[in-house]
Each structure stands twice: as C-alpha cells, then as structure tokens.
C-alpha cells in the first residue's frame, strides 16, 4: 500500500502559502451564508478584500464590520463602480447571477460567479461572451474542482492508474427547509434540488468525462412545483456512464466513486468538500489513501486560481473553462426539459 498523505497544501507557483500575493482587490456582492464563507476564506488567507455590496445598506455595514472591510455599499451598482475593486465575487441567489455578473463585467471587473453559473445556457453564453470580449475572467465558483483531493483524482485518472474509466457515481442529498416560501422551494427563485444540489454531481461527471452524448432523467416534485429529487444517467460516446442523484428533503450519504477497469476511487463523505479518498486496485485491495488538511472551508483555492489567471493574462483554464460552464448549463437545461421543470428566466 502506498500513502500519498501530504502535509500542507498545494499552493500556486511562486506564491507563498497564506498570502494572495497578487495585489488584486476583491469585492463581495451579496451578504448571505455563502458570501460569509467565501469572505472568511479570503480574509484568512491574505486576500485583499476591500468592499461589500448589498441591496440593504445596514446589511452591508454589518457584513463589512464582521470582516473588517473598508467599504460597505448599499447597492450592487455602487460596488461594481468602486474604483478600488478589481474582482467581484457574485454570491446572490442564482436567478440573479446573470444580471449581477453582467453588471460587474460592464464595469470592467473580473468575476467569480457562484454555481450554478447562471439559470440556463443562454445566460451562461452571454456572461462568458461579454467577459471574453473585454478580456476579463469569468470563473464559475465550483470550489470542489480546486480542492487537493480532486487535483489528485484527476492526476490518477490521467496517469491511467484506474485503467479505462467506465463509471462515475455521485449523489448530493440534503434535508433542507420545507417552508414553501424558502428559496429552495420557490420556483421564482430557481428552487429545486437540481440547480442547488445536483450541480455538484453534474459538474463532477463533466470533470471526469466531459459533456455527455445522451442524458436520461426522472424526478418527483414538491407542492410548489420544483424538483424534490432528480435521478440522472449521463451516457458517453465510448460507453461510459455517470449515475447521479440529488434530493432536497432527505439527508443522504453524499458519496462519490470513480470506477475503472484497473481500479476504483471511493471519495469520503461529504465528497465535494475538503477530504480524502481511498484507491483500490482491480482486486479490491487498498493501494492508496489520500488525506490532506485544508484550512478554512477550502474556498480559497478557486480564488487563488482566479488570481493566477489574471496574473498570467489568461481568461480560461483547463480545470473549468468558461466553455465548460456553458456546457454544464446545457446539460442542466436538458435535464430540466426531461423532467418538465421550467423557470421564467428560460424566456429571453
């Protein structure tokens, strides 16, 4: 048995651990739960976080005081126009990602946009198209892709350690609030399991196999008309399959596995958060155990990647390029068409 357990964390080339080192100045758009998690990881790891914007001035001031930020803006427009901000992290509910990303991009800011990147593919294309036309970075905040255990899994797949990879299995099930007025149950706010939770297993399937050739899906709905749970099978040209599931009213194992002809990987729950995995050979013997400590929630890795892109003059990477964020939204659109889930934002 080999052991790849490592101390520390894989940092960016030329940048010392614990420091952003780029000089880019961040603004936080939104003050909700996820905004607080991202701001905490940014501040803890030495990023220059200078401003927050909220539609409620008092909320902005409270958030700024919590993280010791110099500027609190009482509107998203004021944040986008702040000359001391270079990058805007978009953390508003996903029905507003499109308009908020365009607002920041039109103000000349790079954007890190929470997942799902948009409500549908046409919105994603407009965001990425505007960013490309202005030479700006528009990176989807799918933080899981940048975590150390996912970096190692991609290395193993690329090396052929699993043989021919045939199957991805992943689920994301949570017991979320049942209140019909809660965001996750409200169709006007993009509610449902698929966009909120299913985005994780869907993005993981893309990470391993790319875009599917065929999609099958089935769902059951809540009383408000959004998907309560959704099961998906993605099929690929050479016969590979991704078996994916999400649900918003039942807590689940939240496990994921990658299975190949030469072995398999079982990722520890909760698989999309910082953690480890066990690799087995084709006889079921343990050949690798990966564990790595991550400080904070691990959302700093995606921010480091955005800063690396800006520093090197690039607008896309190989881990999650804008074109793939569009493809992910195309797949989610296809699933929604199969299960009959529509939103008002589907109409241009």
> Could you list the active site residues?
115
- Rg of the chain over Cα atoms, rounded to whole angstroms, equals 20
Q: What is the dihedral of CA 173, 175, 181, 182, to 10 degrees?
A: -70
* Residue bearing tokens 């953690």: 275
* Residues whose CB falls within 8 Å of the CB of residue 308, separated by 6 or more in sequence, listed in order: 12
Count the Cβ atoms, other than its own, within 10 Å of residue 323: 14
> In terms of C-beta distances under 8 Å and separation of at least 24 residues, what long-range contacts does 61-68 make, across chains too?
62/31, 63/28, 63/31, 63/35, 63/36, 63/39, 66/36, 67/39, 67/40, 67/43, 68/43
Sheet containing 256-260: order of strands: 2-3, 286-290, 277-281, 263-267, 256-260, 165-173, 241-247, 227-235, 214-221
Contact between residue 335 and residue 232 where contact means Cβ atoms under 8 Å apart: yes
328, two tokens:
């992910």
Q: Say whether 88 sits in a helix, a strand or coil.
A: strand
State phi, psi for 329 to the nearest 5 degrees: -65, -35
User: What is the rounded (10 degree) CA torsion for 13, 116, 63, 146?
Assistant: -20
């Amino acid at each position: 048995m080999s052991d790849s357990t490592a101390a520390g964390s894989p940092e960016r080339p030329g940048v010392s651990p614990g420091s952003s080192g780029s000089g880019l100045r961040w603004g936080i758009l939104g003050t909700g739960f996820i905004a607080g998690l991202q701001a905490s990881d940014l501040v803890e790891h030495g990023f220059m976080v200078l401003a927050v914007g909220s539609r409620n001035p008092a909320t902005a001031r409270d958030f700024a005081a919590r993280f010791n930020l110099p500027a609190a803006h009482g509107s998203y427009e004021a944040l986008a126009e702040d000359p001391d901000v270079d990058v805007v992290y978009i953390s508003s509910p996903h029905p507003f990602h499109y308009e908020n990303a365009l607002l920041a991009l039109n103000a000349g800011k790079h954007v890190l946009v929470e997942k799902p990147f948009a409500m549908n593919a046409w919105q994603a294309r407009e965001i990425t198209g505007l960013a490309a036309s202005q030479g700006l970075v528009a990176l989807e905040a799918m933080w899981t892709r940048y975590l150390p255990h996912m970096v190692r899994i991609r290395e193993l797949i690329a090396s052929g350690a699993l043989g021919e990879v045939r199957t991805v299995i992943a689920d994301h099930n949570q017991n979320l609030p049942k209140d019909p007025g809660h965001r996750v149950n409200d169709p006007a706010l993009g509610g449902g399991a698929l966009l909120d939770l299913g985005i994780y297993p869907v993005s993981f399937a893309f990470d391993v196999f790319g875009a599917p050739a065929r999609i099958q899906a089935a769902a059951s709905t809540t009383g408000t008309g959004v998907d309560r749970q959704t099961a998906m099978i993605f099929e690929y040209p050479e016969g590979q399959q991704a078996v994916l599931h999400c649900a918003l009213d039942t807590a689940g194992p939240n496990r994921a596995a990658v299975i190949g002809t030469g072995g398999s990987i079982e990722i520890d729950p909760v698989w999309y958060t910082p953690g480890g995995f066990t690799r087995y050979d084709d006889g079921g013997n343990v050949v690798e155990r990966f564990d790595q400590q991550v400080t904070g929630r691990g959302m700093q890795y995606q921010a480091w990647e955005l800063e690396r892109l800006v520093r090197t003059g690039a607008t896309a990477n190989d881990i999650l390029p804008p074109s793939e964020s569009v493809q992910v939204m195309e797949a989610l659109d296809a699933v929604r068409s199969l299960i009959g889930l529509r939103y008002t934002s589907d109409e241009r």
